[in-house]
């Protein structure tokens, strides 16, 4: 009986290995018939190198599920801030050295600028499942749907004081400059690529942008290059309120931090989408295709929305952390930033410097 039990265990192990191998060998459902070649080639490549601005902690559920879906393809994940990613990638492309197979960045404008010169044209099978504005020339793809938010200290800002519009924020601060002296925080538009992009988008959506910025900054703006630093300082009370904060990160922090409040503006809420593209020079092109398609797939988007707390670019995932859920919450206030050439306008060096100069003048910096 003991020998039979051992034999049964061995047979079960062999069966399990065969099944998992079969699962590996199968291309995703409803994909083109020849997608199997991509899967097989990715297995031979063995890994995919990701350059990303998404925090490793947030990305871990995505990485783990991808590796479970495609055993044999390891994810080499490099977490950088947006400016570091851009500089490193440009430098490596110029030198012809090893670099990322996939760029995945929250700095939509600088990511698209890289894509113009370095992206591989690849028509993902998932294109029909995402908004048209999130796909640029079958090369660069928006992968998330993340409204920018206000954050505030719940102990020191009364519920009735929480601003509901950008104008209300400006009025709150400019009306109590002593109380808010050096207590309002946002991104440093010179050091943070994400902050610069959001400031440009503010100027396009607010007809009285300079006036709003000037009033918001009347007590003195505290600028940072890190979302985490801003959340920490608002939570501690060192700062009282912050704006243009990535709502996805703020919501995640607020779930565990009773001192941090999150509010979305109802006049307009800028929606950021993390842009991904495959490099023309990728050494692991097939594994990169698997990663990109997985990010956009129903399975990948479910993990993004429900485990990584990054709202889905799709409308058919479980729960409300997707386009439909955000639309129910914020309606017409949502202003998705399209993945298109309009992002590139202020990356012209002269325009960029002029905008930063005007921003600093209005913000009193």
pLDDT digits (tens, 9 = 90+) for 212-249: 999 999 999 999 988 999 999 999 999 999 999 999 99
Residues recorded for the chain: 365
Same domain for 181 and 46? no
303-330 pLDDT, tens digit per residue, is 999 999 999 999 999 999 999 999 999 9
Determine, yes or no, domain membership for 335.
Answer: no
Same domain for 282 and 239? no
* pLDDT, position 221: 96
Phi, psi angles (nearest 5°) of residue 120: -80, 130
The answer, yes or no, to whether residue 16 has pLDDT greater than 60, is: no
295: tokens are 């990010």
Average pLDDT of span 177-201: 94
Tokens 């200290």 belong to which residue? 153
| Interatomic CA distance for residues 279 and 298, integer angstroms | 24
Angle between helices 285-296 and 56-69 (to 10 degrees): 110
Determine, yes or no, domain membership for 337.
Answer: no
Same domain for 150 and 299? no
Determine, yes or no, domain membership for 334.
Answer: no
Determine, yes or no, domain membership for 336.
Answer: no
Contacts of residue 92, defined as CB under 8 A and 6 or more positions apart, other chains included, come to 98, 99, 100
Number of domains in the chain: 2
- Quote the mean pLDDT of the chain: 91
Determine, yes or no, domain membership for 13.
Answer: yes
**Burial, 357: exposed, middle or buried (Cβ in 10 Å; 0-12, 13-18, 19+)?**
exposed
Phi, psi angles (nearest 5°) of residue 50: -110, 130
Phi, psi angles (nearest 5°) of residue 104: -135, 100
Same domain for 134 and 192? no
Give the confidence band of 293 by pLDDT, cuts at 50, 70, 90: very high
Same domain for 81 and 177? no
Count of CB atoms within 10 A of residue 285's CB? 21
* pLDDT, position 81: 85
| Interatomic CA distance for residues 272 and 314, integer angstroms | 14
Same domain for 267 and 297? no
Selection from 78, 71, 73, 17 nearest residue 50 by Cα: 78
Q: For the chain, what is the radius of gyration of the CA atoms?
A: 23
Contacts of residue 131, defined as CB under 8 A and 6 or more positions apart, other chains included, come to 142, 313, 323, 336
Beta bridge partners of 108: none
* pLDDT, position 365: 83
Angle between helices 349-363 and 209-216 (to 10 degrees): 50
Give the confidence band of 4 by pLDDT, cuts at 50, 70, 90: very low
Give the confidence band of 299 by pLDDT, cuts at 50, 70, 90: very high
What does pTM read for this prediction? 0.88
The answer, yes or no, to whether residue 55 has pLDDT greater than 80, is: yes
Contacts of residue 322, defined as CB under 8 A and 6 or more positions apart, other chains included, come to 145, 301, 305, 311, 312, 313, 314, 315, 316
Determine, yes or no, domain membership for 326.
Answer: no
Same domain for 152 and 103? no
Contacts of residue 321, defined as CB under 8 A and 6 or more positions apart, other chains included, come to 305, 306, 309, 311, 312
- What does the DSSP 8-state code read for residue 331? G
Determine, yes or no, domain membership for 139.
Answer: yes
The answer, yes or no, to whether residue 173 has pLDDT greater than 50, is: yes
Same domain for 288 and 208? no
| Interatomic CA distance for residues 225 and 346, integer angstroms | 19
- The CATH code of the domain that includes 315 is 3.40.190.10
Judge contact between 43 and 25, C-beta under 8 A: no
Percentage of the chain exceeding pLDDT 70: 93
* pLDDT, position 9: 38
Cα dihedral across residues 150, 151, 157, 159: positive or negative: positive
CA torsion angle 231 235 239 240 (round to 10): 110
Same domain for 6 and 111? yes
Same domain for 221 and 357? yes
User: Which region among 13-17, 38-42, 52-56, 271-275 has the lowest average model confidence (pLDDT)?
Assistant: 13-17
Is 164 in a helix, a strand, or coil?
A: coil
Domain that holds residue 259: 146-272+343-363
Determine, yes or no, domain membership for 328.
Answer: no
**Which strand (E) or helix (H) includes residue 48?**
strand 47-52
Same domain for 54 and 98? yes
Same domain for 211 and 357? yes
Give the confidence band of 26 by pLDDT, cuts at 50, 70, 90: low
73-122 pLDDT, tens digit per residue, is 999 999 998 889 999 999 999 999 899 999 999 999 999 999 999 999 99
* Cα-based distances in Å from 304 to 176, 294, 295: 40, 11, 8
* pLDDT, position 93: 95
119-153 pLDDT, tens digit per residue, is 999 999 999 999 999 999 999 999 999 999 999 99
* pLDDT, position 11: 40
């Amino acid at each position: 009986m003991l020998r039979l039990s051992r034999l049964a265990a061995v047979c079960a192990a062999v069966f399990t290995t065969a099944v998992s191998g079969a699962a590996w060998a199968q291309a995703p459902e409803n994909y083109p018939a020849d997608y199997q070649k991509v899967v097989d080639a990715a297995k031979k490549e063995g890994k995919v190198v990701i350059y990303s601005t998404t925090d490793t902690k947030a990305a871990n559920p995505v990485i783990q599920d991808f590796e479970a879906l495609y055993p044999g393809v390891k994810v080499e994940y490099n977490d950088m801030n947006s400016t570091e990613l851009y500089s490193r990638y440009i430098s490596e492309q110029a030198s012809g050295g090893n670099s990322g197979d996939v760029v995945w960045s929250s700095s939509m404008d600088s990511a698209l600028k890289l894509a113009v010169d370095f992206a591989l044209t690849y028509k993902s099978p998932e294109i029909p499942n995402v908004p048209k504005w999130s796909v640029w020339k079958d090369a660069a793809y928006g992968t998330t749907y993340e409204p920018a938010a206000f954050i505030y200290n719940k102990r020191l800002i009364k519920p009735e004081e929480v601003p509901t519009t950008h104008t209300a924020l400006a009025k709150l601060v400019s009306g109590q400059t002593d109380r808010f002296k050096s207590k309002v925080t946002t991104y440093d538009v010179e050091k943070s690529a994400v902050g610069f992009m959001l400031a440009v988008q503010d100027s396009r959506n607010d007809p009285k942008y300079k006036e709003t910025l000037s009033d918001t900054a009347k007590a003195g703006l505290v600028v940072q290059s890190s979302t985490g630093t801003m959340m920490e300082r608002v939570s501690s009370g060192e700062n009282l309120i912050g704006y243009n904060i990535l709502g996805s990160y703020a919501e995640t922090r607020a779930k565990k931090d009773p001192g941090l409040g999150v509010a979305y503006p109802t006049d307009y809420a800028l929606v950021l989408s993390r842009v991904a593209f495959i490099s023309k020079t990728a050494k692991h092109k097939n594994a990169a295709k698997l990663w990109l398609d997985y990010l956009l797939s129903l399975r990948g988007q479910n993990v993004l929305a429900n485990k990584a707390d990054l709202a889905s670019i799709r409308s058919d995932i479980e729960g409300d952390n997707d386009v439909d859920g955000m639309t129910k919450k914020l309606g017409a206030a949502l202003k998705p930033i399209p993945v298109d050439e309009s992002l590139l306008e202020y990356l012209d060096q002269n325009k960029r410097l002029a905008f930063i100069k005007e921003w600093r003048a209005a913000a009193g910096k």
